[in-house]
Structure 1
Amino acid sequence: MSAGISFVGAGPGATDLITVRGARRIGEADVVLWTPAIVEAGWVRENTRPGAELIDMARHGDDEIVEVYRRAVRDKLRVARLHAGDPATWPGLRAQLDICARVGLPAEVIAGVSPASAAAVSMGVSLLEPGFADSVISAGQETAGMPDLAQIKEYAQFGTTMAVLVPAARAAELADALRSGGFDDETPIVAAYKVSWPDEIVVRTTIGELVATVKQHRLWRHTLFLIGGAVRAGRARAVAGEPARRPESVVRWSRTRSKSSWRAESKRTVVETPAPEPERVTVTAVAEPEQKPAPAKAAAASTATKSVTAQTTPAKKTPAKPAPVKAAAKQPVKAATPAKTAAKTPTKKTTRTQPQRGRRTGS
């Protein structure tokens, strides 16, 4: 057997998410480099060959790991080094390959399942979706700690899906950086801690509720945060060709970006309220009938009563000026005196018949 090393992507943590090729390399290795934070110790012991040497990288420095590489070349040993998630997202991969080439140890890289992918599918969402996100930006690593906040702010200005791995204890700083980059408080977030492990915590929240959610679930260690419109709750397009559903409230970006990227648009319903009409004051002037109206005034008396309308503003009301007395009521009614009224009423004369007296006759 020739010497060599395999950098195996161990996935997000669940042992059944390790690829078949990766599990085979682990079972064939003479030396296995790993940490309990990557894969459960029980599974590693059960799936390595008898007599294999297990080295916890958390208890050894970089120089000691390089000595293991040299010993593998000298003793023709097969080495398997486990890496959380996918080695393609490991910033130190190129440096490790250079070291192996320098000491003469052949190396291969076996891909693994990304924690971001595992967290997304566990919530039933996708990281890419037309109309919401056309790319994914990854920031932060287990060994790097909190990424540069200025960098997070710069990434947020693209408005696409972001996968940020940071200590949950610094969630407030992350939220401030995202707001500074253009995201608003209603932007959806998926917080995933130890995704695919038996004690995983995967919850939905928003930038505005991020700090409260982290405290509620008592998260403080490294947690993966998926940010953007693609990880929103709700179903996708039901019919092909149907317009993409956008979040109810998202920011509008000022920088020029691709039309297919997650463009921030606020979905607002504007209800136009008509301005209140000014108050109207109607003054009706009725002229008292004259005893002997002139011919001109008599003609005006037969016309309809005119209404004078004055408009007043709500701020300052001015009393309406009464219109000049020009017209009388359409049919003015004259008050009749009792004497005249009685005279008009016909009276019925009654005749009283006097009884006739008998005549006396003389005897």
Structure 2
Amino acid sequence: MRDYTMNLGNISLRDTLESAVYIVGAGPGDPDLLTVKAQKLLASADVILFADSLIPEQILDICRPDAEIIKTANQTLEEILPTMIERVRSQKSVVRLHSGDPSLYSAIHEQMQLLAEANIPFEVIPGISAFQAAAAKLKVELTVPGLVQTIILTRISGRTDVPTREELTTLAAHQASLCLYLSARHVDDAQSKLLEHYPAQTQVAICFRIGWPDEKIRVVALEEMANCTHQEQLLRTTLYIISPALLPVSGRSRLYHPEHNHLFRSSHH
């Protein structure tokens, strides 16, 4: 087991941390992928609320021994919000820990709206998203010159409706690097929609619980995507990356090419 005690230098936020809510991205699972700011906030905050089913408990090793830890996996927003408001009004600093990055599928929009209405100050601290951690594990760049320059982050319609203009078949037409979140339960539907536009042999990385000790990554042809998901019995916290960039390529970024001029380097002749 790794030691997750963080050496945060001589900078302490404890004396300066305001009574506010800090909405913090915890990253995909690996505590080492927390930002330095997230570590400092966790080490300083009076109260930490976290979804215990989505965030590893080792992250809490960073927290103050006297911090109030509140698990929220079984709570609704209606239950969580009054707790945050009450603690801030009691002059406490509150960290609301979200898995991944708060800008993606974190349901923070409503939280921020209600905090603003209650005149509770808040700040959002970004985190590493699963698609970034997955690309790093796969040792790929999802934008390859001459091959693909667009990344689409989306999900298939389930309990949360996806607008019609964002239907998967429409997005698949771009043949971009497509990162499909929260869609394992609908994988057969997703595969058939993707096959309308991507070649059957397009590589798909099936990434289960990225950053956790039990993570699994399988790279298969698109036509095997659903079959592999069922065989491996993958359901929650599975990310699919469908991309031509998953195949070995010989593309080279113009930015570092010797014939490329840019602001900081003149061309060699």
Give the TM bin, normalised by the shorter chain: 0.7 to 0.9
User: 1:164·1:226 contact (CA, 8 Å) conserved in 2?
Assistant: yes
Query: What is the percentage of aligned positions where both structures have the same residue?
Result: 27
Structure 1 position 55 matched with structure 2 position 70: yes
Give the C-alpha shift of residue 239 in structure 1: 9.7
Equivalent pairs, count: 237
Residues 128 and 238 from structure 1, CA distance in 2 versus in 1: closer, same or farther, beyond 3 angstroms? closer
What residue in structure 1 maps to residue 250 of structure 2? Answer: 236
Q: Which amino acid is 1:18 matched to?
A: L
What residue in structure 1 maps to residue 228 of structure 2? Answer: 213
What residue in structure 1 maps to residue 123 of structure 2? Answer: 108
1:109-124 aligned within 5 A: 109-124=124-139
Give the C-alpha shift of residue 212 in structure 1: 2.2
Residues 112 and 221 from structure 1, CA distance in 2 versus in 1: closer, same or farther, beyond 3 angstroms? same
What residue in structure 1 maps to residue 84 of structure 2? Answer: 69
What residue in structure 1 maps to residue 99 of structure 2? Answer: 84
User: 1:161·1:228 contact (CA, 8 Å) conserved in 2?
Assistant: yes
Structure 1 position 225 matched with structure 2 position 240: yes
User: 1:13·1:84 contact (CA, 8 Å) conserved in 2?
Assistant: yes
What residue in structure 2 maps to residue 198 of structure 1? Answer: 213
Give the C-alpha shift of residue 94 in structure 1: 2.8
Structure 1 position 38 matched with structure 2 position 54: yes
Q: Which amino acid is 2:250 matched to?
A: A
What residue in structure 1 maps to residue 181 of structure 2? Answer: 165
Give the C-alpha shift of residue 64 in structure 1: 1.4
- In the alignment, structure 1 segments of 5+ residues that lack a partner are 242-363
User: 1:146·1:167 contact (CA, 8 Å) conserved in 2?
Assistant: no
User: Any idea what SS the aligned residue of 2:167 has?
Assistant: helix
- In the alignment, structure 2 segments of 5+ residues that lack a partner are 1-16, 256-269
Give the C-alpha shift of residue 160 in structure 1: 0.8
Residue from 112, 117, 142 that aligns with 1:127? 142
What residue in structure 2 maps to residue 11 of structure 1? Answer: 27
- Kindly report structure 1 stretches of 4+ aligned residues shifted beyond 3 Å: 143-150, 235-241
Give the C-alpha shift of residue 51 in structure 1: 2.2
Larger radius of gyration: 1
User: Any idea what SS the aligned residue of 1:64 has?
Assistant: helix
Give the C-alpha shift of residue 125 in structure 1: 0.8
Give the C-alpha shift of residue 121 in structure 1: 1.3
User: Any idea what SS the aligned residue of 2:213 has?
Assistant: coil
> Which structure carries more relative contact order (alpha carbon 8 Å, separation 6+)?
2
User: 1:14·1:39 contact (CA, 8 Å) conserved in 2?
Assistant: no
Give the C-alpha shift of residue 231 in structure 1: 2.1
User: Any idea what SS the aligned residue of 1:59 has?
Assistant: coil
Provide the TM-score with structure 2 as the length reference: 0.80
1:89-132 superposed Cα distances (whole Å, 9 cap, x missing partner): 23633322221111121111111111101101101111111122
User: 1:33·1:54 contact (CA, 8 Å) conserved in 2?
Assistant: yes
| Alpha-carbon RMSD | 2.4
Q: Which amino acid is 1:166 matched to?
A: L
Q: Which amino acid is 2:90 matched to?
A: D
